[in-house]
Amino acid sequence: MIITEILARNSRMYKDETALIERNPIENSRRKITWNEFYNSSGRLANALVRTGVKKGDKVILLMTNCLEWLPVYFGILYTGAWAVPLNFRFESEKIKLCTMVSGAEIFIFGEEFIDRIEEIRDSVASIVKTWIFTGPSHKCPAYAVQYENFIKSAQEDQNKIPPDVELKIEDDAALYFTSGTTGTPKAVLLTHRNLEHACYVENRHHGQTHEDIFLCIPPLYHTGAKMHWFGSFIVGGKCVILKGVKPEWILETVSEEKATIVWLLVPWAHDILIDIERGKLNLKEYELDQWRLMHIGAQPVPPSLIREWKLCFPNHEYDTNYGLTECTGPGCVHLGMENSDRVGAIGVPGFDWECRIVNKAGKLLPGGESGELIVKGPGVMKEYYKNPEATEKTIKNGWLYTGDIARYDLAGFIWLVDRKKDVIICGGENIFPVEIESFFMNNSKIHDIAVIGIPDERLGEISAGIISVKPGMKLSEKEVIEFGKGLPRYKRLRKIIFADVPRNATGKIEKPKLRRIYGKDRRKDIEKLLR
């Protein structure tokens, strides 16, 4: 069933029941909409987009932080047959520009947080973007944009027919999600309606959501992870709470007051909750948590010690971890399984309707215990890297998606992640690309060379460390490096600075494996140490 049909069904079956709740602890606000309001809101946007000229196969960019309107906007785009193109709200203006040009999106929907970034690139994409739609308040709407509510009113006479009459097929293209390769250059992952449908079934099969479950969504909705985990509740008409904030007390207050039963956390957030419990900043007796049945984690390796501590504080919780990629429609191609929480450290077994193999460089199947590249196959595999046939050919071979991650099977058939084939650093669930940071610091007149690697961190999974070689005759302090690094977004800044020579091989490439052995420890050894 196409996910827009699921929304229409939910509206029929659960018309006046709450579908989405937005909690904003900073503003002390709470908003909600019913399934019928969700459906009608999406339909009205779809009508307005069609009235503007949007047709099947067009692209519509969505650049918004998590809010009550995010999902209705996403579904409104899908109802037109256009591709939804959600952008990472952390993207700098240049990446926003690049994604706009690659997608060829003629419609751009954005929130007020992005006015300055858009101003920087608007002229350079003027030949592509024809309509800018602003979701913020009217008095802040830029002159070049139309305010969202006014845009919706432009199709008022069409509102008797919601949504517009557009034939959608399960094989149709649906969404374009931007990810990045080892260079940090975004790649556009094209997902179909079948991909999105499959994500609903996978998540529901893994975690058994019912209509009575209440899902707490904290991670950004531009990630496939957050949205596809919600899909498991969406398919049964379960309520979703969108929390704008990650402080431990906010999370527990929301679970308590909204009676949340399922919470997907990132490692840092779970870590922070445990620390505040240990320090006495959080008293679990002050919250109603008995209904909370499942805590699951994804997006980065999970330290077994973290889950052991979690189970001591929350002994009645079921636990699961999920592995996935944007290229396989988010999480679930491998999952641990709630019945296997004693095996934390492994990423698990093939997910529902997924196949997994571990192969050598030639693509030949490896026996258990040997490390090789993890490849996966199933209905969630992307259609392609949009406008990038070369990368598509390297990544999808005979229906198998080559993940770029090195893994191994244990004797019981569980998959263990050993290392990343790529140099991407995953810090608190966010991808950090060393080349970007290295290029930035090479603008410093005192730096001769720099290599950025990921080193293990208990809370964040990994942190970025910079090995810096200073130009002869010059002096450079750690304080100067930190100050210079403030030109980067906060999440890309170096967490550790090491002054030393940067080794390069005969072809000029940085010998990062050597640096990891010296400064970051071999990652496989580090993982195996956690398992002892």
Q: What per-residue confidence (pLDDT) applies to 362?
A: 87
pLDDT over 50 at 177, yes or no: yes
pLDDT at 472: 79
Answer whether residue 51 shows pLDDT above 90.
yes
Q: What is the pLDDT of residue 15?
A: 96
Asked if the model's pLDDT at residue 460 lies above 70, the reply is: yes
Beta bridge partners, 381, equal none
Domain residue spans in the chain? 425-531
Q: Is the pLDDT of residue 377 over 90?
A: yes
Topology annotation, domain 425-531: GMP Synthetase; Chain A, domain 3 (3.30.300)
Assess whether pLDDT exceeds 90 at residue 527: no
Q: Which DSSP string corresponds to 449-470? A: EEEEEEEEETTTEEEEEEEEEE
pLDDT exceeds 90 at position 180: no
- The answer to whether residues 32 and 23 touch, using CB atoms and an 8 Å cutoff, is no
Identify the pLDDT of residue 523: 44
How many other C-beta atoms lie within 10 A of the C-beta of residue 145? 22
Residue 508 CB coordination number (10 Å): 6
What pLDDT score was predicted for residue 530?
33
Q: 441 or 509: whose pLDDT is higher? A: 441
Q: Do 175 and 81 form a contact (C-beta atoms < 8 A)?
A: no
Contacts of 104 by beta carbon, 8 Å cutoff, 6+ apart: 59, 128
The confidence score (pLDDT) of residue 301 equals 67
Percent of the chain with pLDDT over 70: 94
> Which residue is listed with tokens 């002390």?
28
Of the listed ranges 57-71, 222-236, 246-260, the least confidently predicted one is 222-236
CB 84 within 8 A of CB 78: yes
∠ CA 213-428-135, rounded to 5°: 65
Average pLDDT, integer, range 462-480? 91
- Report residue 149: phi and psi, to 5°: -65, -40
Confidence label for 184 from pLDDT (cuts 50, 70 and 90): low
For 152-156, 218-222, 337-341, 383-387, which range has the lowest pLDDT when averaged over its residues?
A: 152-156
Model pLDDT, residue 526: 42
